[in-house]
Amino acid sequence: MPQAATVTASATPYAIEVEDLVSYYDSRRILDEVSLRVRPGEIMVVMGGSGSGKSTLLRHLLGLNRPAAGRVSLFGADISQASARELYQLRRRMGVSFQNGALFNSMTVEENVAFPLREHTRLDERTIRIMARMKLEVVNLAGFERLMPAQLSGGMIKRAALARALVMDPSLLFFDEPSAGLDPVVSADLDELILRLRDALRVTILVVTHELDSAFRIADRITVLDQGRILITGTVEEVRNSPSERVQNLLNRRSEEIDVDPEEYLRRLTD
């Protein structure tokens, strides 16, 4: 497998370990003692509705947010305590496919994909070009390397972003809403690709999504977040068969009646 992290790391069987993570935006508690473990080579899908805290959890895993309490470790290295240099080393082992693609509009598709290699390695330019084109082959974008992002469809942008996320051969791959905005066929194609990547490269994959069909297709395990807390973490079957009313409401896309505290409600309206 790819090189071991050079940051101080403890021996662990997990690629990702989150322990009692607490996070706030201003005074609002977004994550409330969240704990999660992901094994190497596993596809973990984090599900939840809007405002459940799943995007905040992803930001913590990427080292973009610091925990108010708790710990986030990748390959045994505590990123909550990592220096900027240590975080850089860990990030070289991560690939991130952002929801909107986050491609550079002023660069061609190939330049976008090659960008991390040009920034972070000293590989020969011919090697870089072959690597970028190989990744475009993997995501079925061969022949589109000279196009600009503005010339791509939504599905193509997602695949180009994935090619860029893969170009450094990461040990850990994060997807933020990979299916959002895609038609069902394109979405299913992307799911198949995610499964092929895991099988071929044994990469650990964490997917944040609210798309049920996609989650059930690709997940080894699913964790369901609701209002900043984990409702359940389990296999697809365990989640499907969960007796929890909240989990079933999420799976069946039923909205929940929100508990109203009249005093608190009035205070929110009038404060």
Partner 1 sequence: MSYQVDEKDGYAVVRLTGEVDLNRSPDARRVILDCLQKKMPLLVDLSGVDYIDSSGVASLVEGYQLSRSRQLDFGLIGVSDAAMNVLRLARLDKVFPIYASLEARLKDTR
Which residues contact residue 251 at a Cβ distance below 8 angstroms, ignoring those fewer than 6 apart? 212, 239, 240
Check residue 119 for interaction with partner 1 (CB under 8 A). Answer: no
On the CB side of 241, how many CA atoms lie within 13 Å of its CA? Answer: 5
Structure tokens at 130: 């072959």
Check residue 47 for interaction with partner 1 (CB under 8 A). Answer: no
8 A C-beta contact, residue 56 and residue 18: no
Check residue 118 for interaction with partner 1 (CB under 8 A). Answer: no
Check residue 251 for interaction with partner 1 (CB under 8 A). Answer: no
**Least distance (Å) between residue 163 CB and partner 1:** 11
Closest CA to 73 of 109, 35, 99, 116: 35
Residue from the set 26, 50, 106, 126 that interacts with partner 1 by CB under 8 A = 126
Check residue 192 for interaction with partner 1 (CB under 8 A). Answer: no
Number of residues that bind partner 1 (CB under 8 A): 23
Quick one: 96 or 250, whose CB is closer to partner 1?
Answer: 96
Which residues contact residue 224 at a Cβ distance below 8 angstroms, ignoring those fewer than 6 apart? 47, 48, 230, 231, 232, 233, 239, 247, 250
Give the DSSP H or E segment for 141.
none
Check residue 135 for interaction with partner 1 (CB under 8 A). Answer: yes
Determine the 3-state secondary structure of 13 from DSSP. Answer: coil
Among 43-51, 66-74, 162-170, 174-182, which window interacts with partner 1 (CB under 8 A)? 162-170
Check residue 167 for interaction with partner 1 (CB under 8 A). Answer: yes
Residue position matching structure tokens 């459940």: 52
Per the DSSP assignment, residues forming a β-bridge with 2 are none
Subset of residues 193 to 232 that bind partner 1, contact rule: CB under 8 A: 196-197, 199-201
φ and ψ at residue 123, rounded to 5 degrees:
-65, 155
Closest CA to 177 of 66, 6, 52, 81: 52
Among 26-34, 131-139, 150-158, 241-249, which window interacts with partner 1 (CB under 8 A)? 131-139
Check residue 266 for interaction with partner 1 (CB under 8 A). Answer: no
Quick one: 85 or 254, whose CB is closer to partner 1?
Answer: 85
Structure tokens at 80: 């909550």
Quick one: 200 or 258, whose CB is closer to partner 1?
Answer: 200
Check residue 245 for interaction with partner 1 (CB under 8 A). Answer: no
Among 66-74, 77-85, 121-129, 241-249, which window interacts with partner 1 (CB under 8 A)? 121-129
Chain positions contacting partner 1, by CB under 8 A: 1-3, 121, 123-124, 126-127, 130-131, 134-135, 137-138, 166-169, 196-197, 199-201
